[in-house]
Structure 1
């Protein structure tokens, strides 16, 4: 198994032309709406409280951040999307950067897509799925903040999202419950990422 706690900050980029070269080193990217808890997910998976910056103001991740594991592989924190209080020019830049990265990055093994379980499958989430699904790469959805719902309601939402995926063009997607606060689904998510990195 990967040593997720070995993750260290490697670099931040704000333009696709500055991405580290694809030299056979694999990476898994994390994407999600700006208030879905993406940074908390990365910190929880790596046992690091402030590896990825957690802010009370959504939209603070404005660059692509690379975190390197001791295996040489990368966890990649993508800019949050879908938050209305950033200027339109920044929205345009993020969209171009995300689209370029997700559709052309050869070293990308898969996408961990973060959705708040109370507000899953927003239009921007669906757009992200539609951008990435044609690549044929793996997609795994984390329904975060599962502790905010009863176990019954969380499982109902999980089934609803699973059904949507099966009926859409994203049938290769998988989905699970996750909570950074109560550690629901942490080991399951680590297992998925480890499997992506070790299956060549």
Structure 2
């Protein structure tokens, strides 16, 4: 694993911190790949009925492990890296509620595929303080004192969706396949006239 080297009295650069973060991501990503392989895996993300009962399901917190580009877009002043790939971990810390509506035709049912996809987004924009050479006691707000907010976190998360199949006569309905970049987790079946989802669905 690479480590950044800095020296006493050195003027710190943003790349020192950025590369420290990146080096840790690379080390953990390839460790995960050595242990888990390159197939997409999930942990947690249990699916249960809503409480109180309704036409919703709850997907518990969990993780997804998926091969991704090193950096699909620039990471602050570090350039994007679309050449190298590694395992990344997306984390969902909170329970997600997904709606699963009943079909509108008597005698019909519909299957919902609960699917998950890795997502990497830049988030938490803040107008950051910048050094003001002409008056160090009064920092600039944003680059060039523009007041522009800049993202402060690159978040690796999970996008959870309920993909509806085609409603059909009960017993003949089929489950849709997962969308590109997604992995199927659970199937929830909802029948005409149903007003709540139970564990048996």
> TM-score range with shorter-chain normalisation?
under 0.3
Greater radius of gyration (CA): 2
* Bigger share in strand: 2
Query: What TM-score, normalized by structure 1, do the two folds share?
Result: 0.23
Query: What TM-score, normalized by structure 2, do the two folds share?
Result: 0.23
* Bigger share in helix: 1
